[in-house]
């Protein structure tokens, strides 16, 4: 499956996807990386990896619709079958989202539906949650909404600062996103309403307790 990866910055999740795609048994191929910002550092990595890297600068367009016309055309020109948002900091209109319905996915640094939008880590710490994480979901018009494909849980530690928590969640993101993309590219995801079911779902992982059980075991 040919994927197009949308970025706005350094693109660390893009890098994780590109590295996963290098494995001979991985069911997806990075066809193009597109940034809406010409100064995005992730473009350099994509070019170094031999992947076409384009800029569709949203500031050069009079409207969101005009911007999205060229963004859509660039994706189609590279044979993209699935769009992967990876730190893409632009809200997309209903027209674009509908064109790529069930063919566009996004990663967000929280256990959705909690903490949609910005400052997820600050809000989690402020509210005293013990477990947070990250989610990969199919894109819908409402921000950080849509059927959830996969999630990873991350413990919130005492005295965590937002940057500390963000770094641990990002490590989980780099593993979760390639895993979720594999599920989609292999055709193992089924969407019914707002629920994703996975064909051949694996056995449950051990339960994560936070704080840990005492005594351990």
Domain ranges of the chain: 1-100, 106-201
Same fold: 1-100 with 106-201? yes
Dihedral-angle region of residue 13 (phi above 0 means left; psi in -120 to 50 means alpha; beta otherwise):
alpha
- Cis, bond preceding 148 (omega within 30 deg of 0): no
Q: Is 42 helix (H, G, I), strand (E, B) or coil?
A: helix
CATH number of the domain at 106-201, please?
A: 3.40.50.170
Q: What pLDDT, on the 0 to 100 scale, is given for residue 216?
A: 64
Rounded Cα distance between 134 and 96, Å, is 24
Q: Give 151's contacts (C-beta < 8 A, 6+ positions apart).
A: 111, 112, 133, 134, 135, 136, 176
108 is catalytic: yes
User: Each residue of 191-201: pLDDT tens digit?
Assistant: 999 999 999 97
One digit per residue, the tens of pLDDT, for the chain of length 217 reads 999 999 999 999 999 999 999 999 999 999 999 999 999 999 999 999 999 999 999 999 999 999 999 999 999 999 999 999 999 999 999 999 999 999 999 999 999 999 999 999 999 999 999 999 999 999 999 999 999 999 999 999 999 999 999 999 999 999 999 999 999 999 999 999 999 999 997 778 888 887 788 776 5
Rounded Cα distance between 117 and 53, Å, is 27
Q: What pLDDT, on the 0 to 100 scale, is given for residue 204?
A: 80
Rounded to two decimals, the pTM is 0.95
Instruction: Decide if 118 contacts 89 (C-beta within 8 A).
Output: no
What CATH class does 1-100 carry? alpha beta
Exactly one of 58, 72, 78, 108 is catalytic; which is it? 108
Rounded Cα distance between 78 and 59, Å, is 23
Rounded Cα distance between 6 and 17, Å, is 12
Rounded Cα distance between 99 and 72, Å, is 9
């Amino acid at each position: 499956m040919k994927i197009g990866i949308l970025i706005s910055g350094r693109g660390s999740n893009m890098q994780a996807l590109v590295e996963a795609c290098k494995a001979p048994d991985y069911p997806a191929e990075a066809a193009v990386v597109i940034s809406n910002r010409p100064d995005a550092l992730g473009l350099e990595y994509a070019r170094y990896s031999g992947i076409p890297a384009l800029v569709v600068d949203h500031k050069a367009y009079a409207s969101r619709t005009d911007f999205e016309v060229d963004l859509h055309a660039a994706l189609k020109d590279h044979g993209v079958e699935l769009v992967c948002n990876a730190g893409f900091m632009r809200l997309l209109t209903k027209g674009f989202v509908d064109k790529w319905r069930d063919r566009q996915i996004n990663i967000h640094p929280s256990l959705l539906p909690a903490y949609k939008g910005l400052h997820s880590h600050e809000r989690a710490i402020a509210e005293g949650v013990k477990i947070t994480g990250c989610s990969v979901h199919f894109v819908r018009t409402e921000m950080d909404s849509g059927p959830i494909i996969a999630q990873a849980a991350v413990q919130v530690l005492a005295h965590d600062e937002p940057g500390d928590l963000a770094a641990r969640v990002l490590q989980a993101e780099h593993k979760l996103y390639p895993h979720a993309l594999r599920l989609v590219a292999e055709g193992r995801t089924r969407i019914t309403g707002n629920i994703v079911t996975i064909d051949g779902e694996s056995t449950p992982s051990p339960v994560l307790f936070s704080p840990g059980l005492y005594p351990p075991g």
